[in-house]
Amino acid sequence: MSVIDVETTEQARGLDEEQFYACLTQRNRGLIPDTLQGQIGRTRLLVAGCGSIGGATVQPLGRMGYRRFVLADVGTYELNNLNRQSATVDDLGQNKASVAARLLRGINPHVEAEVVPEGVARANVQELVAQADVIIDGVDVTTPSGLAAKICLHQEACRQRKPLVTAWDMAGMLAAQCFDYRLVREIFDGQLVPGDEKRLDTWEVIFRIAPRAYIPGEMFRELRRGLDDPDYSVPQLAEAATQFGALAVHMVNLLVEGQDVPRTVAVDVHHVSMSRGRRALDHVDRYLERARFLAHLPREQAWNGFAPAPAYRARRRLAMRTAHTVRKREDTP
């Protein structure tokens, strides 16, 4: 299809869907093969959580040429979100998925953007995952309900064997992760055992499923100061959260194309922007602050959150067998 120059809103809105799409993706050519661009245009995406992490991906994915979206988020914008999320003062009080859909349609009026203002929940997760070819998990984990929704989403993606991309922003670090549940058969690489979401506290579960090896020293230092405060709110920065837009587009493209994707791709803009000497000190600081943080935690909480998966699972099995034996003895006349 020949591509015409489009310079006005009227011209753009006068194009049919395929003409518009050809113009929108014209500058992808040469770097995005035509076959991949065609796959991109047909791929169905579920963006679960449209705040700082999931929201950072929506517009870049739309600009790449993805045009079939399901956007799920129960949250509404607050002023403190604007330091890192794609919203303005005029969006305060509005549902985040609805705002994301409006922004997508501003890029491509022909885009399909279904809004699910109930967010992801056990009642709808099966249907939401079934609609998707690829899932972007941006579900907030700072509340018990959000954490339960994230675990539920991964469980269903694993059951239906759907690839999923997620991320964690920590100070200047953005760690993007790919769980290709077409191949992976345990959620979060087996870091959790069944029932952990009910047995462990919120932070213990977060530390089990977060990419612990990539947490920066400055984040450990901040958490050590804040976790004892019941009203503590984890700080999040624009330079970390917005990186997921770029990383997610490329990782989703690779999945759509059938390429291998690394489990974790981590970029710490604070670290890479330092001088060579400061980077060396910062690398050491990560281990020192991790040790201080673990020493600060109660011993059981440190074990539950940070023990290596094989040791953690072995101890849980032993505890469950011991509890079962005790119950049998108590039930024996």
Is 142:53 a contact under the CB 8 Å cutoff? no
Look-up of token digits 């910062």: 282
User: Is 261 among the domain residues?
Assistant: yes
pLDDT band at 1 (very low <50, low <70, confident <90, very high): low
User: Is 300 among the domain residues?
Assistant: yes
Instruction: Please tell me the total number of residues recorded for the chain in this structure.
Output: 333
248-107-134 Cα angle (round to 5): 30
pLDDT band at 93 (very low <50, low <70, confident <90, very high): very high
Is 110:116 a contact under the CB 8 Å cutoff? no
Classify residue 307 by burial, with Cβ atoms within 10 Å: 0-12, 13-18, 19+: middle
Give the domain CATH number at 303: 3.40.50.720
> What is the number of structural domains in the chain?
1
Within 54-161, strands assigned E span 68-72, 112-116, 134-137
User: Is 11 among the domain residues?
Assistant: no
Tens of pLDDT, residue by residue over 211-222, are: 999 999 999 999
User: Is 1 among the domain residues?
Assistant: no
Tens of pLDDT, residue by residue over 258-280, are: 999 999 999 999 999 999 999 99
Tens of pLDDT, residue by residue over 102-114, are: 999 999 999 999 9
78: containing domain: 32-331
Tens of pLDDT, residue by residue over 182-192, are: 999 999 999 99
User: Is 313 among the domain residues?
Assistant: yes
User: Is 79 among the domain residues?
Assistant: yes
pTM of full prediction above 0.85: yes
User: Is 27 among the domain residues?
Assistant: no
pLDDT band at 174 (very low <50, low <70, confident <90, very high): very high
User: Is 26 among the domain residues?
Assistant: no
